[in-house]
Every structure is written in C-alpha cells, then in structure tokens.
C-alpha cells in the first residue's frame, strides 16, 4: 500500500463511517496544507500500536461536531453538552481507525492483528496545533459536506522502521 492507496483508504473509511453511522454523504480529497479551522474546534485522536503504529485524528469545528451528533442520534443538536460532543467525536475517530485497520488487514492479506487502538482523546479550543512524536508519514484528507469541511489525518508506519526507510508496507 503506497501513499495514494493510504489516502484512498482514509477516504473510503471515512465516507463509510459517515454514511452508515451518521447518514451523511461526504466527499474527500487529498490535502497537503495546514489545517485551519477559524473558530472553536475539536480534534479527536486514536493512537495505535502493534505491527503498525500511528495515529488517526478527525478535526472539525465545534458547530460541525454538534451537527454530526444531531444527525447521528436524530435529536436536536442543541440538546447535547460539551461532554456529549467530545464523547461522540471520539467514538467517530475510533470507528474511522477501526475501519482503516480492517482495510489494512485486507490489503496485507493477513489475519494478523496489525495494531491495537487506544482510547480516544479529544482536544478542544482555538489556535492549537497537533503533532505526533513519531517519524511516521502523515496523510491528510479534507472532506466537503453541505455544512462545512472537516479533516481526517493518519500517521502510519510499520513498527521498527523510520520514515526514511521507504514504503509504509
């Protein structure tokens, strides 16, 4: 699986999660710029480690996260607390990482457990930057919606290799 295939897998995974769990159509495209969300925003992250290691993250405005939850649970989006928003966005990040893991296993044609996922973490606020402490290659996809864009990032490498050693797989 090369970088383009990883981007395609992130797109497919996220599109499936949003369509099946939230009943929302989204369309992704590779994104290589700085992620800019001009208002209060959230980042939900799930780390993973095993044969492969890295991090999956979703970045969106708080307003968009509230709309996602309303669509997912079919309840007025104003009925949710900030804690509810963080919990649901963390679970969406967890689902994206889990779906990506299934695609990775399929592409490797293995039954091996390629990684274990962490409990989701969520950061909220304005003007923060997220970065990983690993040298893993990073892939980002911007998703367009009828509301506003959001971003999914993936940092991924085979455990024991550095980014300079070449292909992820």
Residue 135 lies in a domain: yes
Are the CB atoms for 68 and 168 separated by under 8 Å? Answer: no
Mean pLDDT of 109-137: 82
Residue 169 lies in a domain: no
- Look up tokens 């911007």; give the residue: 142
How many whole angstroms from its chain centre is CA 51?
A: 19
Instruction: Read off the pLDDT of residues 6-39 as tens digits, 9 standing for 90 and up.
Output: 999 999 999 999 999 999 999 999 999 888 777 8
Residue 133 lies in a domain: yes
Give the chain's count of helices (H) and strands (E).
3, 7
pLDDT at 163 over 60: no
Residue 144 lies in a domain: yes
Beta carbons within 10 angstroms of residue 79's beta carbon = 11
Rounded distance, CA 54 to CA 67, Å? 28
Mean pLDDT of 118-141: 84
Residue 156 lies in a domain: yes
Are the CB atoms for 56 and 119 separated by under 8 Å? Answer: no
Residue 168 lies in a domain: no
Residue 128 lies in a domain: yes
CATH code for the domain of 123: 3.40.1550.10
Mean pLDDT of 2-9: 89
Q: Is the model more confident about 90 or about 164? A: 90
Instruction: Read off the pLDDT of residues 117-128 as tens digits, 9 standing for 90 and up.
Output: 999 999 998 877
pTM of the model: 0.88
Of 25-39, 47-61, 122-136, where does mean pLDDT reach its minimum? 122-136
Quick one: pLDDT at residue 114?
84
Rounded distance, CA 10 to CA 28, Å? 9
Q: Which domain holds residue 75?
A: 3-162
pLDDT at 111 over 90: no
Quick one: pLDDT at residue 62?
92
For the chain, the domain total comes to 1
Residue 38 lies in a domain: yes
Are the CB atoms for 55 and 154 separated by under 8 Å? Answer: yes
């Amino acid at each position: 699986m090369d970088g383009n295939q990883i981007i395609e897998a992130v797109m497919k995974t996220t599109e499936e999660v949003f369509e099946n769990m939230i009943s929302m159509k989204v369309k992704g495209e590779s994104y290589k710029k700085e992620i800019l969300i001009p208002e209060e925003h959230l980042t939900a992250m799930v780390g993973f480690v095993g044969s492969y290691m890295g991090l999956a993250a979703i970045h969106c405005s708080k307003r968009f996260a509230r709309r996602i939850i309303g669509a997912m649970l079919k309840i007025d989006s104003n009925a949710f607390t900030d804690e509810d928003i963080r919990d649901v966005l963390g679970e969406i990040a967890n689902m994206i990482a889990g779906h990506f893991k299934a695609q990775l296993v399929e592409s490797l044609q293995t039954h091996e457990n390629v990684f274990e996922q962490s409990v989701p973490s969520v950061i909220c606020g304005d003007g923060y930057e997220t970065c990983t402490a690993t040298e893993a290659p990073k892939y980002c996809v911007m998703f367009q919606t009828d509301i506003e864009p959001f971003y999914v990032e993936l940092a991924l490498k085979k455990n024991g290799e550095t980014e300079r050693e070449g292909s992820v797989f």
